[in-house]
Structure 1
Amino acid sequence: MLFSIDLGFKSFVVRMANPHEPHFLKPLLPGFHSGITIPLGFFSKHIERKTNQKTWKLRSDASDKIWEVIQEGMRLTGGWKDFATANDLRIGDIVIFKHEGDMVFHVTPFGPSCCEIQYTDPDINKEEADAGDADENEITHIASSSRMI
């Protein structure tokens, strides 16, 4: 939903979250890397017979990249493993999918503690490690750490 604010000397266009954007959550169980099943209620109400498009576009706060994932029936398969790996998803995480329209979904992962996973910028971690006396292995490990709960 868009609306504008006119302050007389300056105007702004503001995008508000649409309270009607449907969501679903998915707990990640063993084997989730091979694909996940879309909940029947969500699929029936928001996907089935609403679109012929079989490619979902997933985005998250972990990066600016938009991932294309293939829907096969009620499952997300092709491209899902790449998305899960890039977002450091793990067994026990809970993932919320918010449908933003046109088969674009914002994905928000929560860790086993039920807190949203906060991603750090790997480049910032590498710069901090470079400033210290860490050896090359420590720098690689620190740079690859991408999530904090």
Structure 2
Amino acid sequence: MGSSDVKYPEFFNVFLPHLCSTNVKIPNAFVENISKKIPKKVVLKSRSGKLWAVALGEMEDGLYMQEGWSRFVMDNKLEAGDFVVFKYNGHHVFDVIIFGLSGCEKEQEGSSVKEKMADEKVKANKRGKDNRNASDGERAVVKRKVNKSRNYEKQQQGGMGLV
């Protein structure tokens, strides 16, 4: 079996604002079928390449996408009944596709991680704070994960990216 034959797990969620505007549950069956431990932070990646950093957290009934999820919801203008597909690439990144009530894929919008980082840097400079705070550390982690994912994708496509 070639490396391009690797099947990564995926799941879907039907967006219901009253249940999942601030966090969304990752199905227990999905979590149980992941061979590696799922990290505490992941990146959601749209087909257009836009990225959102999202923290994962345990609640009594399972694992949830929490901090950062509501931003993804707002940026993509999720509406009741939207069908959201998450495909885990094994390296901290979920590729995401959103289908609207029409059954067709919705165009995804929003801020990329790079745009958010620039906005946060401007805000920090305006406040006169040192840019070595915790959010800088978080941005560095996201950047490393995205680069690792891109390198992995190059390898899967026969490239020479280093992981």
TM-score normalised by structure 1 residue count? 0.61
Amino acid at match of 2:46: S
Task: Percent identity, please.
Answer: 34
The equivalent residue for 1:54 is: 40
Q: CA RMSD in A?
A: 2.6
The equivalent residue for 1:40 is: 28
Deviation string, structure 1 residues 31-51 (Cα, Å, up to 9, x no partner) = 32111000111011117xx22
> Larger Cα Rg: Structure 1 or Structure 2?
1
Structure 2 unaligned regions, length at least 5: 110-163
Deviation at 1:2, TM superposition (A): 8.3
Higher strand share: 1
CA distance in 2, matches of 1:52, 1:117: 28
Structure 1 unaligned regions, length at least 5: 4-15, 121-149
- Greater relative contact order: 1 or 2 (C-alpha under 8 angstroms, separation 6 or more)? 2
Amino acid at match of 2:80: I
For 1:27, which of 14, 17, 21 is the aligned residue? Answer: 14
Distance change >3 Å, CA 72–CA 119, structure 1 → 2: closer
Higher helix share: 2
Deviation at 1:113, TM superposition (A): 2.1
CA distance in 1, matches of 2:95, 2:51: 10
Distance change >3 Å, CA 112–CA 52, structure 1 → 2: closer
Deviation at 1:119, TM superposition (A): 4.5
CA distance in 2, matches of 1:2, 1:119: 32
Structure 1 residue ranges (4+ consecutive) displaced by more than 2 angstroms after TM superposition: none
